[in-house]
Amino acid sequence: MPTTRETILAALHARLSALPPTALRGDVLPERMPAAGLLIMRDGEPGEPEVTLSPLRYHYQHRAEIEAVVQGASREATFDTLCAYIGAAIAADRTLGGLCDWIEAEAPRPVDLPVEGAASLKAAVIPVMLHYSTADPLA
């Protein structure tokens, strides 16, 4: 049986996988970049929970990350579209179907990455905060 944390991360990845760009989870950057761009979700860190008693609950602000990467002549527009897709997917259901209390993304900080013998990449890490509670830190 998957933990609450894994269930939420899998739901976020499923939501990203429904978008036009290719969405991977925990993978390395492939040699060929898809035309619509690439999203790589990193599980991130759950952080130190706040604890309440009676009933015992662990409240997490889990920081996952989405690496957004594009390449090509229209990479500025493609990157903007990619970020808009992510924002719309998160805004469509901020509880991931009731699995977590709240989900929100932070603004990306894009960088240009030169690639020898090819068009440069435009990439950014987009932090995503997942707010959820569990009855056990290992559940």
pLDDT tens column, 12-69: 999 999 999 999 999 998 988 998 999 999 999 999 999 999 899 999 999 999 999 9
Say if CB 137 and CB 21 are below 8 A apart: no
Cα separation, 86 vs 127, in Å, equals 11
Q: Burial level of 129, CB count in 10 A (0-12/13-18/19+)?
A: middle
Q: What is the pLDDT of residue 123?
A: 96
Write down the mean pLDDT value for the chain: 94
Domains annotated for the chain, with CATH where assigned, are 4-134 (3.30.70.1700)
Q: What is the pLDDT of residue 110?
A: 93
Say if CB 45 and CB 60 are below 8 A apart: no
Is the confidence at residue 136, as pLDDT, over 90? yes
Q: What is the pLDDT of residue 119?
A: 83
Distance of CA 95 to the CA centre of its chain: 14
